[in-house]
Amino acid sequence: MSKTVNGVVIDDTFAEAFGMSGTGIIITADTLKWARIAATVATGFGTSVIGCGAECGIDKELSPDETPDGRPGVRILIFGFSPDALVPQIRNRIGQCVLTSPGSACYAGFKADKTIGLGKGPRLFGDGFQTAKKLGGTRYWRVPVMDGEFVIEEETGLTTDAVGGGNMLILGTDRAGLLETAEAAVDAIAKVDDVITPFPGGIVRSGSKVGAKYAGMFASTNDAFCPTLRGTTKKTELAPDTLAVLEIVIDGLTSKAVADAMRAGLKAVTDIGAKRGVTRITAGNYGGKLGQHHYHLKDLI
Amino acid sequence: MSGFTLRLKAPATERLTLSGITPAKLSALSALEIARLPVGVEKGGVTLGDAFEISGSAGDVLTLEGATAELDYIGHGLDSGTIRVIGNAGTYAGRKMSGGKLEIHGNAGDFLASGSTGGMIHVRGNAGDNLGGMVQGDRFGMLGGLAVVEGNIGARAGDKMRRGTIVVRGKTGAHTGSRMIGGTIWAEGGFGPEPGLMMRRGTLIGPSVEKLLPTFVDTGKHDLVIVRIISRYLKTVLGDLAPKPMPLFVQKIGGDLATIGRGEILLPAS
């Protein structure tokens, strides 16, 4: 039974999500501006594991009190299919995007028993001039660079209990109002720790189905949710007045974080309600057989 | 907080070796076995019971009362619990320590923390020569852990030290960090003459140096992220005992160029 909250219909369905490997990394710099720049670049081209190799995003900004070096920082999260798949992603993203960014330093942003290399690769840029400094149980590498030293922690924590693909689809009759509502949901999700929304601005407009008519395409457009195909495809999910659908995809270090994020996102949407043209919220799933994690919308409102 | 207390009965007439006498070891033994532990180094075969009044019960704190500089190897091999020394400690205190805490409410002798790999040593008074230094027959000096001395220390602290941190609230003697391979020595009262003799890597931090070796070079003024990290780390683990943070800019003196020269002496930039 679907439910209606503040004029928005909430389908009795669930978001189906997958187990992933994930890690957190703290990037600091002389100013928050430069920490943000390094973090934004390092998490770029990280929307979907299908084509990007990893799903990445900024979790939150950190005050100087919260970082190991007392400078402003940003915490990013990186998710991949497996720990082995994360290794080259971390090495390349940190090596090309953080090491190169003025004044940057890089630390473990996730504490766990399992660890994954953080500075193990990038330290070799030091060409033998790099030195290590071990304080307590933590080893830092100091790599001489042209503006001083790039400091990077040797390892960061790793979880194989991360969740990728928590989602919600927001349907509406007004494209501008729908986008504003989705933005509000992304803003609300951003306040939840340990989660990211990896797509552009946190929002996907090209929801996909599994497979395609073309060989080699793993995913293709979700025609049942394309408003311009309404009535011309075998099956449409859209009511006659629906003009657009936007999806929010959520990755989290824990299943609870993803559930909390979905709850925050749903609340933001229903708080705005039907007045901005949102008519319905649903979620993407594959019948429940593919993903280990199911998030029922009715449990989250 | 339960644990045994050992009170020295009379001034020691020979050197006494407290090697391996840790809270965990005593807690696993009977009163008779404890009293029979050998501590003498001469022919007489002095036992723990001969030299000390033993009181208390099993626990993770061992207190040594009336301790003097004749007691060597206090805390040798300590891996957990606390040893509290009321009085002075002799040579080799905290040797090969891997965990736990050694508190010396007095002065420590030479070779404090030699070969230690972990744990925390806190000396209220002064410490002798070769703090965290290499003992003949070892490959390295200190290999990890943290040693804090509130007073002054002698010569050649950190000789062949590889890892770990030494904090001295007072001054150091000559040749601090000689042959150093890694680790950090922070001397709030400044360094004596010629620190870093033949050092390969490692960090010496302080307000002043009495006399620099000619094989050290000024690399200029820098605001080093690692100095902030070290300050924060020490503040976290030491609290009020932590040295005052260095100014944002430090003068980095690199050396010893008689070796690979990756070591550094960090002084406040003037």
pLDDT digits (tens, 9 = 90+) for B220-251: 999 999 999 999 999 999 999 999 999 989 99
Provide, rounded to the nearest whole percent, the portion of chain B with pLDDT above 70: 100
Sort out which chain B residues have CB atoms less than 8 A from A71's CB and list them. Answer: 225, 228
Q: Is pLDDT of A47 > 80?
A: yes
Give the closest residue to A265 by CA, choosing from A188, A192, A177: A188
Q: Give pLDDT, residue A252.
A: 98
Q: Which helix (H) or strand (E) holds A219?
A: strand A219-221
Please name the member of B163, B232, B237 whose beta carbon is closest to the beta carbon of A134.
B163
Backbone angles phi, psi at B175, to 5 degrees: 55, 40
pLDDT at position A39 over 60? yes
Q: Report the C-alpha dihedral over residues B15, B17, B64, B185, rounded to 10 degrees.
A: 100
Contact B229 A135 (CB under 8 A): yes
Residue A260, preceding bond cis, omega within 30 degrees?
no
Adjacent-strand bridge partners of A172: A244, A278
> Rounded to an integer, what distance in angstroms lies between the CA atom of residue B89 and that of residue B69?
5
Residue to substitute from B166, B204, B226, interface A, most A β-carbons within 10 A: B226
Cβ contact A107:A51 at 8 Å: no
Residue A290: pLDDT band by 50, 70, 90 thresholds?
confident
| Residues of chain B neighbouring A129 (CB-CB closer than 8 A) | 262
Q: Is the pLDDT of residue B1 over 60?
A: no
Distance of residue B39 Cα from the nearest chain A Cα, in angstroms: 33
In whole angstroms, give the CA distance from residue B181 to residue B160.
6
Contact A148 B163 (CB under 8 A): no
Q: What does the longest C-alpha to C-alpha distance in chain A come to?
A: 66
- Determine the distance in angstroms separating the CA of B49 from the nearest CA of chain A, rounded to an integer: 37
**From the CA of B218, how many Å to the nearest CA of chain A?**
15
Contact A151 B225 (CB under 8 A): yes
Query: What ipTM score was computed for the predicted complex, to two decimals?
Result: 0.92
Domains, in order of start, for chain A: 3-16+162-299 (3.30.70.520), 20-159 (3.30.70.520)
Q: What's the pLDDT at A287?
A: 83
Beta strands in chain B (DSSP E): 4-8, 16-17, 52-56, 61-67, 71-72, 82-87, 101-105, 120-123, 143-149, 163-168, 184-187, 203-205, 217-222, 250-255, 263-268
DSSP-assigned beta bridge partners for residue B125? none
Of B144, B222, B226, the CB nearest to A133: B226
Summarised one tens digit per residue, pLDDT across range A87-105 is 999 999 999 999 999 999 9
Instruction: Determine whether the interchain pair B226/A151 forms a contact, defined as Cβ–Cβ distance below 8 Å.
Output: yes
Q: Is B223 within 8 Å of A148 when comparing Cβ atoms?
A: yes
What average pLDDT does the segment A26-49 reach?
97
- Among B164, B201, B223, the residue with its CB nearest the CB of A131 is B201
B5 pLDDT above the threshold of 70: yes
Residue B153: pLDDT above 60? Answer: yes
Name chain A contacts of B224, Cβ cutoff 8 Å. Answer: 148-149
- Tell me which residue in A70, A136, A142 faces B226 most closely, judged by beta carbons: A142
Q: How many CB atoms lie within 10 A of CB A3?
A: 14
